[in-house]
Structure 1
């Protein structure tokens, strides 16, 4: 039986919503509108532009789910990408984050990519300062062109303003994929939260009005921090019914 647990908590005094799910229940899918109107459970996926082109990797079962969905920034920028793959030698399901330009750049082979979603690496497995964290987002991932990600003055970096943000990570402590939507947070604050959740790897997904979650517990509900109900074209879906398993959403912190 695969399960998913929804919970509501706070970080830095601000609202946070969390889904902890078995990896087998996760898929990356293309949708025609918002997460809230999709009739799926889960969160929004990667970045996109005004032409509805994907600006980040969005792959399910080794196949891109939309135009440009096998590239990060049209294959021009190496950005943090969350992978779930089956190692063909061992048969095990494995999770990892790598900075890549295109989905096939993932350095471990042979494997079958069960799903992959691009964004920005939160570097949760490294002991770095806030200054170094933002420097890496700027230099390694060229994230300065993304709204409200980096605040830079000369050679000095600091956190940008607060906004809604979405993240995905994996915790070996609970052996779950962790999906999080923040009401208002900085990228550094997201990193702190994901580390506190025991995540050994994590990626920052699209934010602002794109940050959305739809969940089920004692009741079905949605979290849309900016009340935008924005069309996002793709999402990370939590749906073990696809695997003919029992779906159990547990509620806590309500």
Structure 2
């Protein structure tokens, strides 16, 4: 039996929606347009160019869900990717985040992935200050071309403007995969929240108009699309949550 739980909270005075689920209930899937219209529960996935041209890794059962989905930025950028694989010795699921260009670069069990989704590393397991965090996003992951991720003046970094953002992480405290959509937050603020949730690893997925969640609360299905006023953006991939039961 697998379970998932939806909750609503705030961070820095702004709305945050959270799904915490057993890993066995998680998969990465291709969808036709939006999370809200997909019929699935979960959150938006990785960056993309078109319906079959993904700019981030999106793999399920070691199979890419669409065009270029075995690569981060066509294999040109080494970016944070959240993945789950089965340990051949114990049979247990293991979760990790690695900065990779392509699926084959994963440091552990590269041919035993259950799912993987690319984005930007939130470095929640590192003892770093805000300046160093943004420097890593710039230098390590070449994220300066992504809107509202990095603000840089000379050699000085600071948080960019607020916007809707999506994250995925794994909490060793609860043993759950944590999916989060922020109404309006900075990357550094996302990192703080995921650390507070007990996540030892976390990745920033596509944000802005792409940030979307569909959830179940009791017997009610709900959606959360922070930037829906400007229209709900088609996203074409999502992290799907399909538990036996919602708590």
> Which TM bucket (shorter chain)?
over 0.9
Which residue number in structure 2 is paired with residue 238 of structure 1?
A: 241
1:92 CA drift (Å): 1.4
SS of 2:112's partner is: strand
Runs of 5+ unmatched residues, structure 1: 241-246
List 4+ stretches of structure 1 deviating above 3 A.
none
Q: Is the 8 A contact 1:34 1:229 kept in 2?
A: yes
- Residue by residue over 1:4-27, the C-alpha shift from the partner in whole angstroms, topping out at 9 and shown as x without a partner, is 000000000000000000000000
- Residue by residue over 1:86-129, the C-alpha shift from the partner in whole angstroms, topping out at 9 and shown as x without a partner, is 02232111000000000110011365100000000000000000
CA distance in 1, matches of 2:98, 2:44: 20
**Considering only aligned residues, what root-mean-square deviation do their CA atoms show, in Å?**
1.0
Which residue number in structure 1 is paired with residue 65 of structure 2?
A: 65
- Residue by residue over 1:145-172, the C-alpha shift from the partner in whole angstroms, topping out at 9 and shown as x without a partner, is 0000000000000000000000000001
**Using a 3 Å threshold, how does the CA distance of structure 1 residues 110 and 123 change in structure 2: closer, same or farther?**
closer
Which residue number in structure 2 is paired with residue 243 of structure 1?
A: none
Which residue number in structure 1 is paired with residue 54 of structure 2?
A: 54
Residue 248 (1) aligns with residue 245 (2): yes
1:233 CA drift (Å): 0.4
Which residue number in structure 2 is paired with residue 133 of structure 1?
A: 133
TM-score (norm 2): 0.97
Which residue number in structure 2 is paired with residue 244 of structure 1?
A: none
Residue 226 (1) aligns with residue 227 (2): yes
Q: Is the 8 A contact 1:86 1:111 kept in 2?
A: no
Runs of 5+ unmatched residues, structure 2: none
Q: Identify which range, 231-240 or 102-111, moves more after superposition.
A: 102-111
Q: Is the 8 A contact 1:29 1:60 kept in 2?
A: yes
Q: Is the 8 A contact 2:52 2:66 kept in 1?
A: no
CA distance in 2, matches of 1:220, 1:249: 11
Q: Is the 8 A contact 2:30 2:237 kept in 1?
A: yes
- Structure 1 segment 1-254 matched on structure 2, within 5 A: 1-50=1-50, 53-109=53-109, 112-218=112-218, 219-227=220-228, 228-240=231-243, 247-250=244-247
Alignment length (residue pairs): 244
Q: Is the 8 A contact 2:62 2:111 kept in 1?
A: no
- Residue by residue over 1:218-254, the C-alpha shift from the partner in whole angstroms, topping out at 9 and shown as x without a partner, is 21100000003211001000013xxxxxx2223xxxx
